[in-house]
Amino acid sequence: MTFPLSLPSPRDLPELLGSLQLIAPLLDAMPGVVFFIKDTAARYVLINQTLAQRCGAKDGRELLGKTAEQVFPSRFGPHYTEQDRRVLSDGSQLSDQLELHLYPGREPGWCLTHKLALHNAQGSIIGMAGISYDLLAPQSNHPAYQKLAAVDGHIREHYAQHIALSDLTALTGFSVAQLERHCKRIFQLTPRQMIHKARLGAASQLLSGDLPITEIALRCGYTDHSAFSRQFKALTGLSPTQYRDNHR
């Protein structure tokens, strides 16, 4: 799923924010969705109530003028700010990024994040907008649910082993394209994202113990320690060692 965000081309960020005030109440009516706009210094200038609640703020205005690094715990904030600055520096777009997010009770959970740069009529970057939505429960009423539940079960049981798409298509009788389409519809994830989620979810649990990180990588299906570290940091914002230290 993608979220095409089509906004007018304002002269500057204040003009854009003024035009969005009319729909601000709608942004607050999405409990499972975080929405925000930031200036060119990656500071919040507009947020919805969901984001305020997840940062423990009674009033969303407490977050305005601050970066994610200043309002989120150290295990999340620097990673979010690094993403923001990358989008702001070159106008790149972040789409369908599976990552850990902060949920009510300040506990981490999975979401998909999208970020894009905002331009004025002259094409200059004046800020950025972002949205993160919680991964919902699978659509159990979908006709393909039973077959896809078998795929999910296979991944959960065998994530420590190599899993090829051909293994998953054999379980369902679907083509690769059909498998990916149904997985996105039912789980909001591609098959590859489902595998990453299972592996890194298991790794985050093991990192609370004393197993060597190389052993954790092997137990979670990674034969290359550096590949595990890169993938873990991409989804959590921290290296496995940093995650372990912060958890403790």
Summarised one tens digit per residue, pLDDT across range 158-190 is 999 999 999 999 999 999 999 999 999 889 899
Answer for the pair 80, 68: CB distance below 8 angstroms, yes or no.
Answer: yes
**CB neighbours of residue 147 within 10 Å:** 18
For the chain, the first-to-last Cα distance in angstroms comes to 36
13-134 CATH pick, 3.30.450.20, 3.20.20.70, 3.90.1150.10, 3.40.50.300: 3.30.450.20
Task: Name the helix (H) or strand (E) containing 240.
Answer: helix 240-247
Give the pLDDT of residue 108. 67
The answer to whether the predicted template modeling score (pTM) of the entire model surpasses 0.85 is: no
Q: How confident is the model at residue 104 (pLDDT cuts 50, 70, 90)?
A: low
Instruction: Give the CA angle between residues 179, 184, 186 to the nearest 5°.
Output: 90
Summarised one tens digit per residue, pLDDT across range 118-157 is 999 888 999 999 999 888 777 778 888 889 999 999 999 9
More confident residue, 75 or 173: 173
DSSP assignment of 170-209 equals: HHH---HHHHHHHHHHHHSS-HHHHHHHHHHHHHHHHTTS
Instruction: Give the CA angle between residues 140, 232, 68 to the nearest 5°.
Output: 90
More confident residue, 246 or 165: 165
Q: How far apart are CA 41 and CA 147, in angstroms?
A: 47
145-247 CATH pick, 2.60.40.10, 1.10.10.60, 1.10.357.10, 1.20.140.10: 1.10.10.60
User: Any idea where the domains of the chain sit in the sequence?
Assistant: 13-134, 145-247
Summarised one tens digit per residue, pLDDT across range 88-102 is 999 988 888 888 776
Could you give the angle at which helices 145-158 and 176-187 cross, rounded to 10 degrees? 90
Q: Which 3 state secondary structure label does DSSP give 116? A: strand
**CB neighbours of residue 214 within 10 Å:** 12
Q: What is the DSSP letter of 21?
A: G
Give the pLDDT of residue 14. 85
Give the pLDDT of residue 173. 93
Give the pLDDT of residue 65. 96
Give the pLDDT of residue 229. 92
Give the pLDDT of residue 1. 45
Summarised one tens digit per residue, pLDDT across range 16-63 is 888 888 888 898 888 889 999 999 999 999 999 999 988 888 888 999
Phi then psi for residue 94, to 5 deg, are: -100, 125
